[in-house]
Amino acid sequence: MKNRRIKVVVCGVAGRMGSAVTDCFQAAEGVEVTYGVERKDHPDVGGNLKGVPIVGDLSSAIEDADCIVDFTGPSFTDELVKEGKARRKSLVIGTTNLSAGSMGAISDASKSIPIVLSPNMSPAMNVLLKIVPDVARTLSKGFDISIVETHHRWKKDSPSGTARKLGQILKDITNSEPQVKSLRIGGVVGEHVVTFAGEGEVLKLVHSALSRQAFAFGALLAVKFAVEANPGLYGMSDVLKMR
C-alpha cells in the first residue's frame, strides 16, 4: 500500500455524509475514490459525483477496492458486512442505529477482516468519549447527569448513536441512567452536551460538529488505519491511538 493510492468505495455516496466523505477523500493524498454506491433505484445511479461513477451494484464496485466506507442505513450495512467478509475487504462503518443482530454479524466478520466501527468519527468527539469516564467517576455522587443532543431535522435515529454510547458509558460507571434529550431542529450538524449538575455548581462538556468535514476527516484516518490493520473490530480510539 506504501507506493500506491488506497482505492476506496463510498457507500451512500449521494447522501449528506457520502458527499462530504467524497470531497474530503478527493482532496487528500494517498487515497482515491473509485466508485460510489447508491440504492439501485436512486436517480443518480449511472451518473457521477465529482468525477466518481455512481453504481447500484455493490459486488462489482468493490472488486478492486482496498477499503469500503459505509454511511447508509442499517439494512445496507448488513449486506456490506456479508459481502466484505466474503471478499476479504477492510470496512469503515459509520452508519448508526445498527441492531444487535447486525452488531453480532460485524463482530463475527471482524474475525477475518479489519473493521472500524464508530457512530461518531470526529476526532474531538472521541476525545470527549475518552474523558467522560474520568469525570463521571469523580462526580458520580451528588451530581445529576444529562445528555442533550441536537441534530438536523432529517436525522432518522433518536437518540443519536453517540448519545447512546455516552449513556452506556455513564450508566456503566454510575449504575444509573443519565437523562437523555434529543432535539431535531434546522440544519444543525451535531451537538452533544454532557452536563454534571450539582447543587452549587455545573460542569458541561460540549462537542459541536461545525460541518460534516469533522466526520469525513475521521473516516479518512480510519481508512488509512484499516488497510494496514490485522483482522479485528476497531473503534476510533484505536485509529487515534488513544488507548
Report if residue 42 touches ligand NAD, rule: CB under 6 A: yes
Choose, by CB under 6 A, the member of 6, 8, 14, 145 that binds ligand NAD.
14
Alpha helices in the chain (DSSP H): 16-27, 58-61, 74-87, 100-109, 123-138, 161-174, 213-226, 236-239
> Residue 213, Cα to own-chain centre: how many angstroms?
12
Choose, by CB under 6 A, the member of 84, 119, 159, 167 that binds ligand NAD.
119
Residue 18, C-alpha cell as written in the block: 457520502
Report if residue 38 touches ligand NAD, rule: CB under 6 A: yes
Cα end-to-end distance, the chain, whole Å: 25
CA torsion, ordered 138, 126, 164, 90, to nearest 10 deg: -140
Per-residue binding letters, 73-102, with ligand NAD (x by CB under 6 A):
x-xx-----------------xxxx-----
Choose, by CB under 6 A, the member of 121, 128, 170, 227 that binds ligand NAD.
121
Q: Candidates 65-73, 107-115, 137-145, 220-228 — which segment interacts with ligand NAD by CB under 6 A?
A: 65-73
Choose, by CB under 6 A, the member of 25, 35, 71, 143 that binds ligand NAD.
71
Cα 184 from Cα 42, distance rounded (Å): 25
Nearest to ligand NAD of 109, 120 (CB atom): 120
- 123: preceding bond cis by omega (within 30 degrees): no
Contacts of 152 (CB under 8 A, 6+ apart): 184, 185, 186, 187, 188, 189
Catalytic residue status for 151: yes
Nearest to ligand NAD of 12, 159 (CB atom): 12
Q: Candidates 14-22, 140-148, 172-180, 227-235 — which segment interacts with ligand NAD by CB under 6 A?
A: 14-22
Catalytic residue among 85, 151, 165, 207: 151
Strand partners, 33: 8
Contacts of 77 (CB under 8 A, 6+ apart): 70, 93, 95, 98, 102
Report if residue 225 touches ligand NAD, rule: CB under 6 A: no
Choose, by CB under 6 A, the member of 22, 118, 126, 150 that binds ligand NAD.
118
Catalytic residue status for 42: no
Nearest to ligand NAD of 72, 196 (CB atom): 72
Residue 49, C-alpha cell as written in the block: 459525483
- Look-up of cell digits 473490530: 233
Q: How many residues are given for the chain? A: 243
Binding site for ligand NAD (CB under 6 A): 11-12, 14-18, 37-39, 42, 71-73, 75-76, 94-97, 118-121, 157, 215
Give catalytic residue positions.
Answer: 151, 155
